Structure formats: C-alpha cells, structure tokens
Structure 1
C-alpha cells in the first residue's frame, strides 16, 4: 500500500544544498525553494493538532516586510501564540530530511515520541498574504495537510494577525472565554465595536494617512473602515500604498520597515505639516507612526513610542478605576529600545521594565508573566497581554464613583480592542487613536514626552555569525573572548553611551547598535564597535 507521507514528500522534493531553519518568524527565504518546506509544515501542523487533542493549528504563508520574491511560513498555536519551541526544532529537522522515506520515518517517530494517535482528527487553519508565490505554496501546504489525513480550512488572503485571531476564536468558541467569531466580519465587528466603546464619546482631531506597504493590510483596512463610525463622528482614514494587483510593488519604498530603517516617509506620502501618518508592514503585524513638522522635518514615532503612550494611558485607567492596589503594569523591551524610552518608563511613568532577547516570542513570554504586560519592539511589532487573574479582577471590580466607572468602562473596551493573540497593526492603530483622543494630543505632544537619544544601527558581514555568543538579553558578548572589554572601553569615551553587538537571526552578519548624547558620538561609537566586530569576525 502506498505511503501518503512519502508520496507527498516525493511530489515536493527538497532542493539540494539548502539548510532550512525555523527562525524567530518561521521559515523565510526565496519563494522558489520553499515547496518542500510548505508540504512538510502541513505534516507538522497535523501532528501538532493531534498532539493537542485535535485543536486547530494555524499556518500563515507570509514573508512580512521581506522583498516580493521571498516568502515564508510559520505555525500558530491554539491561542494564537507562537509555535512551542520544541516543535520549532522538530519543524527544522523535518524540513531538512533528505529523502521521502526519511520524511515518512521522522513523521512516525514524532508520533511515537509524543504518543500521538494518528487516527485522532486534526484541524489546520491556513491564511496567506498577497505575494505572487502564495497560491503555489498554499497548494503545497494543502498537499501536506491532506496526506496527513487532517482537515484544512483555507481562509484565503488574511493579515497575519487575522489568522492568529481565527485560530484563537476556533479553539475558544465553545468555552466561557470565547474570543470572538472566527470569520472576517467577526474580526471587523469585534474591533470596531470595541473602538467605539473605548473612545467613550471623545472626538478624534484631524485625519490619519495609512501606508499599507502594497500588502494585504490595504484591502483589509478598507474593509475595516466600513465598520468604523462615520468620519464626521470618528476617524477619517486615507489609505495609501494599497496596490495588491502588482505583487512586485510589495514593501518597495513603503511600509513600516522602510520608514523605520530610512527614517523618512514613503516617497508616495502626500501628507501635510503635522498630519498624523502611519505605516503597516507587508502582513500588517507591525505599525509605526510619523509626521513632518512645520519645518518639513521628519519625526518617527516607533514601537518604543507606542509602548510608552499605551503604558501611560493604561496606567492612568488602572489608577482612575481604583485598581492600582491589586494590578501591576509593566513594559517589556529589547536591547534595541532607545535608552530615553526606558528612562521615561522607569522615571516618569514609575513602571518596571523587563529586557528580553530580540524576537516577539521572548517579549510575549515575559509580558505574559505580568498582570498587564505592554510589549513592543522598536520596529513596531507588539501588543498588550492581560493575565487571566487580571481579567477576572477587572470583571469583578465595583467602581465607587461615576469617574471610576467611566475609566473602568474604557479599560474594559481597550481589553477588547487589543488583539492579545499577537501584535496587530490594525488593532494597535485604533488603540493609538483612542489614546490620542483621550489625551487630546496631536503628534507633536506625543513626541514631546521625551527626546530620543541619537542612535545608529550597522550591519557587519562575518564569515560565521555563530562564533558571536551573547548574554544579558543580548546586551553583552561572551564570545569571542575579550571582545566585550574592547566595546566597553569605547562606550566609556562618549556621553550617555550604550552599544551592543548581536548575531543576526537570518544572515551571516552581526548587528551593531550604538547610542549617545549626540549624533556624531553615536555614529562614531557605532563605527568603532563595528571595527572591533569585523576584526574579531575575521580572526
């Protein structure tokens, strides 16, 4: 009898000479070499679903902010969170099996290792972004899912956060903590309704121009707008860079990564002085704000700024609701967070800051340990997590005055407005607009909360990135020997200096970050640390 697992591996053979790795964002590389990986991820998703008693597992086909010719895939756990680390390792092993027979043998080995009954029903939920390669790669995933005898549910085009939302809704729909309706209209209804409640009658001043990176966020935002209050009562949104008809324009001179990296607005931006603007990335899970002042100077309001804005607002709501005695709020950052942002949270907001290694899964994990955990990477990817005990305390809390009730109602609405399964650019955007409306702030007032320290990020190409080992949430190098001492010596020479070097998660390079009191000092420090890294990398 034919072996369906070996057959599907034979149908989608692995190219020779390529080693795949499940990184912080799943598998991601040139789309033309991903067919075998996609089919095998279909197999892994089916096994993971069975290991969890038939719960729905998500598969998202996307390469986010990468160029149009790339693609990728990541698996999503039942509550919309990242794949368990142990299964990332299994996925990497599966992707690198040489022959169809090896694939089949490993599939059965996993089943045996985790006592998985292969007769258990399995459910796999799939979404994809708008890349030209998406349809072909979807068919490879479906081949893998069907070969494993699992039931696929293809949602077609979705933002990455929408796929995470669908997975969480499907797995909680028959429980007391049902997350929402697992349909696209269900997504728009949940977040638009929460947005209206969170505004609490406050007026939003001015309009918002949203650059959608010519990705899937464009059509989805256009759909979401239909559910929001009319612009004269709510938010007037101008959608730009939403051309999904030309997949080759995805992320080209637009999108969150372009704005963050180049520190300038997309060339297509037609906004005027002090107009609020924001950019999504290609799969709409990152968000950065920015504006040009009356002197045409560009100002970026990145993930650090969003984190401080949201933490300040939620902290006020907790206090004004009469909950500050029982709930503690904290902020989670990575080493890339600007030192001025960290200082503002600790000194002005009087909140704790945790620092984790780079990668959303690390931030999410740390935030989940707090009552209310606000986490954002500087690149604009982030969300807020409320613990189960916190949600219970908020639900039970009896306000003692009309003012407390008002704050409590807004806090409850914000909980519904925030996509707690994953960073969601559309949900985060609505949250930022709510905060600005309540504070009666424009972008200038937001920018004025603190002054960013000038910083520089450089990339040093090395022959082997694995020789660079870090500790202290990637802020210190322990290998090669002696290198941290040299970096520390350079840092001491500049005012408010800070610098670190860490191996890239995706290429043979080391990223060097430096900040200091002035632009010249930050640039000089980055250059000197890059030279130290280069010398160590070629030694």
Structure 2
C-alpha cells in the first residue's frame, strides 16, 4: 500500500532539488521552495537515497554520512530527506549531478547503468566500507520511509546506524562526532547524551554567577523539538527553566499547524495557541518541525506582538562576540564577520556594518555557511531563523593556546571557549541557538525590549509574481540586481529613488515559475506600494496580459 504523503527531496543544494525529482513523477506539488512528490514514489526515492549515501561514504573511505528523514517546517502530510556530509555539513556540490542522475533514472536498468557509470567515473572502490547514520522526525510516514532507506543501504552493503526519532541538528552533530571520535578534533561523544551534556555544561559555565533568568516559553511546533527540549532541561540543572507549549507530537495534523517558527515569521504574529499563555514582557520563541529554525518574540505592555527574527539574533550575537574578542585582547588577531542575504532587513545591515564586516551572499544556507567559513569567527542567520556561528580551526587553536595577561582577558577567553562548545557549528540548531541567545541576554541583562531596541526594522513587503519562464530573470551582486530582462533594473532603480529609505530587489524562485519581489521603505504604506509597483514592472517584463494585471500592481 503506497504511503499517502508527499516527499520533499532536499540535498541542501537549493534549486537542484527540482531537477532531482522532476523525472520521477508527473504529479508533483511545491511547498515553500521545496519539491513535494506524491507518496507512490517515496519508497523508490528513499531506496535511492540510501544507495547515494552509501556510495558517498565508500568514496570517502568509510567515513560516516548522515541521512535525515524530515520535511522541516512543512505540513505533516509532507516528508523528505536531507543528506549530510562527514563533517556534519551539507552534501558536497560536486555530488549534485551524481544524485540527480541516480534519482532521475526512469527504469531499474537505467538506474543500474547510471550506478555503474557513477562508480567508474568517480573511481569508487566498491569494496570499501560504508557507514550511514540516519534518523527521522515525528511524521507518521517516517517509519516506512526509513525502512525503504534501510533497503537501499543493505543493497549496497552499508553499515547503518539508526539514531531513531531526533532533531535534524542532532543528526548533524552525530555525524561529525562519529567521524572525529578519538581524534584531536573530537566534536563530542557520539550519542544524544553527548550532545545534551556538551550543551548543558557549556551553558552552565557561561551563566555562572549571573542573576537567574526568568522562564522561557518555547513553542515546539508539535514536533520532535518537544522531545529534545524536554530532555535538554535535564542537563541544564535549573540554570534555565523552559515552559514547553505545542508539544503534542502524537496529535494527527498538529505538526507545524498554526504554530512554529515558519508560522511566526510568515504571519508575523503570535501562534493562536499562545494567546492566553504569553504575558507582556515575557520572552518566548518558536522552533520549526525539525528544530533547526528559531524565532523569538514578546508582547509589549499594550499586548502588541514584536518579532525577533534571524536578523535580530545575528545582531545580538555578533555584537556580543565582538565585545568578548576585544575584552580578551584578541581584536587584532581574531576577525569577526557576519554573512547575510539580500532579504536581511536594511536596518540590521546598517547596525552591523558599523561594528564589523558584513558580507552579502546569494540566498541559501550553503552560500551563507561557506562564506562564514572565511572569517575567523563567522556569524550567519537567515531572516527565517536558521543560522549558527563558525569558529575556524585556527581560531579554536588560538583560543586554546592564548595566554591572557589580565583577569578580565582570562574571563573573556573562557567565555569564548565555552561558546565553541555551546554552539552547534555543523548547522543551524534551534536548541543550541536558544541557549546562545539566553547567554547573551543574561550577560547584557537584556529583556526582549532592550534587545529589540538595538535597531528598528524597516517596514518591508514580499510579493510573489507568477511568470511563464523564471529563467528569463537573471541576477548578479548576490541576487540584488537584475541582469535580465534588459532595462528592468533601471526601471526598478527609478522607482526606488521615489521612496524615503527605499530598497527593492527581484529574484527568480529556484523551484517554481515565480519571481519574488522584496521592498523596504521607512513607512509601511510606502514599502507596500513600492513592492507592488516593482511587482507590476516584473509582470510587464514577463509578458503578462495587461488586462489581467492585478489591481494591487496599479
């Protein structure tokens, strides 16, 4: 009996996910930039993912590769898969084409032919061992999908380790911990207990001697984060109280429904289930379905909702780390930088640029992560709340060997070293990021109000325009300017100049025939107007029928 579900096939590679899946079935749908596929093909896809992961491990002389069965912030009826490379990072780009060819092979004979070609062209020694560690979130379809994955692993002779039901960031942690075990670069004990112990110990060290924090309310999106957050409390030893809401992991249809980080960011309001739970001034946050995104927020004394998104998290964390580096006397040796995308609020960019280097890259976690690796300490957070902090290997060695000359320098150094243990540097990790934010708030004695006042977000608007051919829209300068259609960018520039604090950019979707328009201005009504006017220009440039031009664009 086929599983009645969709599949989100995500190799952490962005637009290529569409290519991977397109040939497998005609009846596909798209959710939030991912390709969703009907359940009748899920078994074969997960089987092939098992083969791909095993081959990747064999190519790397048996280093463990990870596979996570999850659809993140998508509805419960969806499901998907992510492949994790040995350092806990995203799958290497050169393997995108290999994965595409294997996934798109239409018949068994074609699949075997592609498999043979892959093994020969990449010179994989099939006799090498293969190790794959895999896990799933709480979606009901995950049980059958894991079974199909295991069949793929068995077919190619891979050793599988089932990490059970856990978060995506914990799976990333396990992959790196397994591959660095008993080495000087050991990332921690390769178990869930090792993960929680590492985070809990570092957090307690960082808040020791600080006034106790008020309890934090966490919206767990009725997902696997509820299980992990509950376990985490046991390792905090009372240093932080967590109030878990939306923790119903067994209620059908509850996962990510009217709750979670994506809901808060998209709707820019409190999850309805928290309306009678959150008190004015109280800190709260939301996870997504697999606990790799985080969104903070609070209600002011008038009960008005204030969102503290990934941009706000980046500003808070980056400024804190810069202060620690200076206090440790390392400002001339350790350079801190922030990586953003064009979607970052202009006010956050202005705030950060006055304090440290800021680099803008194309949309996508892989671009942010790779750019952050070029700093001694690189901070990146997408506005949607996915992000982390990377300490380069040379910086971690420098911190370990550095001899402070004053007690203040010694204290700051200890804090930096503990941060390297608190932060999950393999991937954005909502639980790790919660503890990071709480450390900064404790050190700064900030409430959500003081944090929010670091800068004031510029009003912004995001509009989606359906087009016949998204490939006609080509960008440059980290997707902030258009190369084609010819003449469109100059028209956008002319419009932007009419608005105080105006900024707008246009970029094609990576997976569907739509073009996304982002606009900012100092006044909400002007940001809305600018977005719709630019959307109108896009509609015209795409050859849209003037008689069908949406009224909002006029």
How high is the TM-score relative to the length of structure 2? 0.91
Question: Partner residue of 1:7?
Answer: none
- Give the Cα–Cα distance (whole angstroms) in 2 for the partners of residues 26 and 106 of structure 1: 25
Pair 1:499-2:507 in alignment: no
- Give the Cα–Cα distance (whole angstroms) in 2 for the partners of residues 537 and 19 of structure 1: 26
Deviations 1:187-210 (A, max 9, x none): 111110111111132124322100
- Give the Cα–Cα distance (whole angstroms) in 2 for the partners of residues 30 and 402 of structure 1: 61
Deviations 1:383-405 (A, max 9, x none): 00011111111111111111111
Check whether the contact 1:329–1:373 (CA below 8 A) recurs between aligned residues.
Answer: yes
Q: What is the deviation of 1:284?
A: 0.3
Deviations 1:443-484 (A, max 9, x none): 000011111100011112222222221111111111222221
Q: Match of 1:342, SS?
A: helix
Pair 1:337-2:355 in alignment: no
Q: Which moved more, 1:31-40 or 1:15-24?
A: 15-24
Check whether the contact 2:51–2:155 (CA below 8 A) recurs between aligned residues.
Answer: yes
Q: What is the deviation of 1:499?
A: 0.6
**Partner residue of 1:181 out of 171, 181, 189:** 189
**Partner residue of 2:229 out of 178, 198, 221:** 221
Q: What is the deviation of 1:15?
A: 8.1
Q: Match of 2:253, SS?
A: helix
Structure 1 16/332 Cα, relative in aligned 2: closer, same or farther at 3 Å? closer
Question: Partner residue of 1:200?
Answer: 208
How high is the TM-score relative to the length of structure 1? 0.94
**Partner residue of 1:443 out of 421, 436, 448:** 448
Check whether the contact 1:166–1:182 (CA below 8 A) recurs between aligned residues.
Answer: yes
Question: Partner residue of 1:305?
Answer: 312
Check whether the contact 1:14–1:37 (CA below 8 A) recurs between aligned residues.
Answer: no
- Give the Cα–Cα distance (whole angstroms) in 1 for the partners of residues 29 and 86 of structure 2: 22
Question: Partner residue of 1:160?
Answer: 168
Structure 1 32/259 Cα, relative in aligned 2: closer, same or farther at 3 Å? farther
Structure 1 423/80 Cα, relative in aligned 2: closer, same or farther at 3 Å? same
Pair 1:535-2:540 in alignment: yes
Q: Match of 2:235, SS?
A: coil
Deviations 1:495-524 (A, max 9, x none): 111111111223322111100010011000
Check whether the contact 1:26–1:73 (CA below 8 A) recurs between aligned residues.
Answer: no
Deviations 1:17-70 (A, max 9, x none): 439999999865455543222111111101100111110000111111111111
Pair 1:480-2:485 in alignment: yes
Pair 1:289-2:305 in alignment: no
What aligned pairs does 1:455-470 form with structure 2 within 5 A after superposition? 455-470=460-475
Q: Match of 1:423, SS?
A: coil
Q: Match of 1:34, SS?
A: helix
Question: Partner residue of 2:128?
Answer: 120
- Give the Cα–Cα distance (whole angstroms) in 2 for the partners of residues 129 and 174 of structure 1: 29
Structure 1 197/190 Cα, relative in aligned 2: closer, same or farther at 3 Å? same
What aligned pairs does 1:373-388 form with structure 2 within 5 A after superposition? 373-388=378-393
- Give the Cα–Cα distance (whole angstroms) in 2 for the partners of residues 276 and 192 of structure 1: 20
**Partner residue of 1:87 out of 55, 80, 95:** 95
Check whether the contact 1:130–1:247 (CA below 8 A) recurs between aligned residues.
Answer: no
**Partner residue of 1:272 out of 279, 283, 306:** 279
Pair 1:490-2:495 in alignment: yes
- Give the Cα–Cα distance (whole angstroms) in 1 for the partners of residues 183 and 247 of structure 2: 37
Structure 1 336/15 Cα, relative in aligned 2: closer, same or farther at 3 Å? closer
Pair 1:398-2:403 in alignment: yes
Question: Partner residue of 1:346?
Answer: 353
Pair 1:521-2:526 in alignment: yes
Deviations 1:76-131 (A, max 9, x none): 00000000111122112211111101111111111111110111110011111111
Structure 1 23/412 Cα, relative in aligned 2: closer, same or farther at 3 Å? farther
Check whether the contact 2:24–2:103 (CA below 8 A) recurs between aligned residues.
Answer: no
- Give the Cα–Cα distance (whole angstroms) in 2 for the partners of residues 154 and 161 of structure 1: 15
- Give the Cα–Cα distance (whole angstroms) in 2 for the partners of residues 493 and 359 of structure 1: 31
- Give the Cα–Cα distance (whole angstroms) in 1 for the partners of residues 29 and 476 of structure 2: 22
Q: Match of 1:330, SS?
A: strand
Q: Match of 1:458, SS?
A: strand
Check whether the contact 2:507–2:515 (CA below 8 A) recurs between aligned residues.
Answer: yes
- Give the Cα–Cα distance (whole angstroms) in 2 for the partners of residues 15 and 154 of structure 1: 30
Structure 1 27/151 Cα, relative in aligned 2: closer, same or farther at 3 Å? farther
- Give the Cα–Cα distance (whole angstroms) in 2 for the partners of residues 390 and 26 of structure 1: 36
Unmatched segments (≥5 aa) in structure 1 = 1-12
Check whether the contact 1:24–1:359 (CA below 8 A) recurs between aligned residues.
Answer: no
Question: Partner residue of 2:83?
Answer: 75
Check whether the contact 2:61–2:128 (CA below 8 A) recurs between aligned residues.
Answer: yes
Check whether the contact 1:31–1:133 (CA below 8 A) recurs between aligned residues.
Answer: no
Q: Which moved more, 1:506-515 or 1:452-461?
A: 506-515
Structure 1 15/451 Cα, relative in aligned 2: closer, same or farther at 3 Å? closer
Question: Partner residue of 2:10?
Answer: none
**Partner residue of 1:315 out of 312, 319, 322:** 322
Question: Partner residue of 1:360?
Answer: 365
- Give the Cα–Cα distance (whole angstroms) in 1 for the partners of residues 208 and 82 of structure 2: 37
Q: Which moved more, 1:218-227 or 1:461-470?
A: 461-470
